[in-house]
Structures are given as structure tokens and as C-alpha cells.
Amino acid sequence: MEKKFETVLLHPVKVNEKSIKSKVTPIYQTSAFVFKDLEELEGYYQGEGNYLYSRTGNPNPDELGAAVAAIEGAPAGIATSSGLSAILAGVLAVVKSGEHIIAAEDLYGGSFHLLKEELHNLGIETTFVSFTDLAEVEKSIQENTKMLYTESITNPLLRVEDLHGVVQLAKKHHLLTLIDNTFATPFHCNPYELGVDLVVHSATKYIGGHSDVTAGVLVGRDELIAKARAKVVNLGANVSPFEAWLTSRGLKTLALRMKCQSQNAQQLAEALNRNPNIEKVYYPFAESHTGYGAMVTIKLGTQVDTSAFFKSLSWVKIAPTLAGVETTVSHPLTTSHRALPKEVCDELGITMEVVRISVGIEHPDDIIQVFTEALEKALK
């Protein structure tokens, strides 16, 4: 009997996938994969490759994880639904209830909450300390300490971490290290090659680079990434195929973007450094031969009205994120660091006058001009 209308609708003639040679990996926008018989299904469980179910594995996230691992110089990587879920998977892969983490006090706000609230409730304690003095970090090490966790370049004051020192300290006490490399990117810094165990990225930022995805990546040695993969699968922290695909596409231009954005940032930082309406420019001027990153943080002079400054920025938008190809600004005190106690913000130097600039790929003359003009317009 011929199939009826409804059935034909659902079982169309498929294109012959074997004869198609797509130049880029297609988007495997599917929740599951099919098997021709029980033997093939059993083969999956015997590790003969292929895919089963997208939460447990899908070619687009796999490609993204492997691509970031390759540029970080690490053997393995896994892509996740966000930077935070990559951090969560990395922590849970190696730290159990009853164990202890030492983290930098100036960690990204979301990461701070993850440790302070969620992981605390799961029985994992964190001591937050300043990493500017590693002797202080060493003093915080306890019997049950398992991990040191900090960022290669911190947010928003762009402090460059002494990763050699952190790795040495960890090795001395048999601790693991987790480094958030989001701000520096693998273009400027490769923590894994310096001996760090796990490197994490909010791929939402420079890895994706176009402000159109939320994703994360964790890289490290095979054994640790296998453990993290189990966490991602069990927690359902997988990234969607489409977002992974978009992120992989963005990643291809990382070097071009970082070269341009870092050069623009350096020029802007130099210009603002000479500007009398700026009290301080936070920019790691002399840290690396590949440039110094594309974030510039400034402290406005007392003669500048902060609110008027934000209103005067013409084409530069206020956005509570960073790393896109367009230049944007954010106000750390009232966004990313809003939940931090006021004393901590004061102590860190995150005040009302602090403005974080994510420098884009526009022409540097225009970028410098828009900030210079806004400073003049916002004079009290």
C-alpha cells in the first residue's frame, strides 16, 4: 500500500549525504542520531564513534571544543552552554564536597557567585584572597585545598596575573590550577603551556567575538576533560549545535580581530593617558609581544560627570558585555560588580568613575575622537 499524505510528509526523500562535500561543517541541528540496526547501536556503546543524543555529544560542540584546545596547545577541550557552565564543569571535575578552593577576590562577578552561593551549598568552600601577593595565597592553603583559581587578565582593572608564580605555588602543594583566559584570549596568552591544568573561556566574548552567542569552552589534558565532559552531560550544560557553529565561525578570525582590537586599544590607552580629564588608565602597557589585549579601563577625572560622559558617547553603546567587534563601554560598579559589597569595590578601586571600554575594530582615529569629545562634553 502506498504511504498516506501524513506519512509522506514526515518521511521525505533525503539528499544523499555521502555525495555532499560541504566546505564547512554543517549545523547538526538535531537532538538525536539514528541507527540502522541494533548492531550499529551497540557499536556506539562499544566506542566505535558516531553520535547518539545531542546532550551527550554533537559534532558542532565537539568541533568548537577541539578548535579552542588546539589554539591553547591543550590535548582536549569541551564546549558548554556558557562560560559559567564551563567553570562549573571544570570545578566539579576535580573538586568534591568537603574540599576547598582558593580564588582571586577580583574574579568575574558571575564566577564569584557560582563559588560563593552554589558551590558553597554543594559543600565546596572557597576562600577569596588577593592574588597580587602569592605569599598570602600560600597562607590560605588548607589540608583540604584542591584548587587555585584566578584569571589571566582580571576584570575590570586589567591586572595581569603572575601565572608562572601561581603554577609554581600549586605544584609545590600538589594543587590543581584553573585559569579563566577570557580577557587575554589564546592569541595573547596560553596558560596551558605554562603548566596550568584547566583553562576556561567565556566563548561569549572574544572566542565568538560577535556578541551573538552565549557559550563556554574548557580545555586541559584528556583525563580531566573526560571528567568534565561527564559533568556537562549529567548537568545538561551542553551548548546548542547552532551556537557552537556560530562560535566556531567567529573563532576563525580571532587573530585578525585581536591584532586589530589590541592595536586600537593600545592607541586609545596612550591617547587617554595624555588626556587631562582622565585620572588613571588601566592598561597592561608592557606585558606581551603580541600586544596587550583589547580592553581599556579608565578612571574619569573629578572634573568629569560620569553620567554625562555615558550620555555623550555618540555611536559607542553601553553594553554589559565585552569583546564584540564594535566598541562598547560598561560601568562595572552598577553592572558586573553590582553585587559585590561596597567595601570590596572600594578596596579594589572599582568606583563610580571607573569605565570599562571594550575596543572594537573601527578606525582608531574615530575611537579616540569619540572618547575625547565625550570627555569634553561631560566636564562639570
Ligand X SMILES: *Cc1c(COP(=O)(O)O)cnc(C)c1O
Footprint of ligand X (CB under 6 A):
82-84, 108, 110-111, 151, 155, 180, 182-183, 202, 204-205, 214, 216
182: number of Cβ within 10 Å: 27
Nearest residue to ligand X on Cβ basis: 83
Q: Is 273 exposed, middle or buried (0-12, 13-18, 19+ CB in 10 A)?
A: middle
Q: How far is the CB of 312 from ligand X (least distance, A)?
A: 26
Nearest to ligand X of 211, 273 (CB atom)? 211
Q: How far is the CB of 202 from ligand X (least distance, A)?
A: 3
Q: How far is the CB of 237 from ligand X (least distance, A)?
A: 10
As a residue count, the chain comes to: 380
Nearest to ligand X of 204, 261 (CB atom)? 204
Cβ(108)–Cβ(159) below 8 Å: no
Nearest to ligand X of 228, 278 (CB atom)? 228
Q: How far apart are CA 175 and CA 311, in angstroms?
A: 47
Q: How far is the CB of 18 from ligand X (least distance, A)?
A: 37
Q: How far apart are CA 112 and CA 338, in angstroms?
A: 12
Using DSSP bridges, classify how beta strands 354-358 and 295-300 pair: parallel, antiparallel or unpaired: antiparallel
Nearest to ligand X of 58, 111 (CB atom)? 111
Nearest to ligand X of 125, 180 (CB atom)? 180
Q: Indicate the helix (H) or strand (E) that contains 80.
A: strand 76-80
Q: How far is the CB of 139 from ligand X (least distance, A)?
A: 26
Nearest to ligand X of 110, 195 (CB atom)? 110
Q: How far apart are CA 124 and CA 96, in angstroms?
A: 7
Using DSSP bridges, classify how beta strands 100-104 and 145-151 pair: parallel, antiparallel or unpaired: parallel
Angle at 168 between CA 217 and CA 93, to 5 degrees: 35
Q: How far is the CB of 345 from ligand X (least distance, A)?
A: 17
Q: How far apart are CA 242 and CA 157, in angstroms?
A: 33
Q: How far is the CB of 376 from ligand X (least distance, A)?
A: 31
Chain-centroid distance of CA 239 in Å reads 14
Nearest to ligand X of 212, 222 (CB atom)? 212
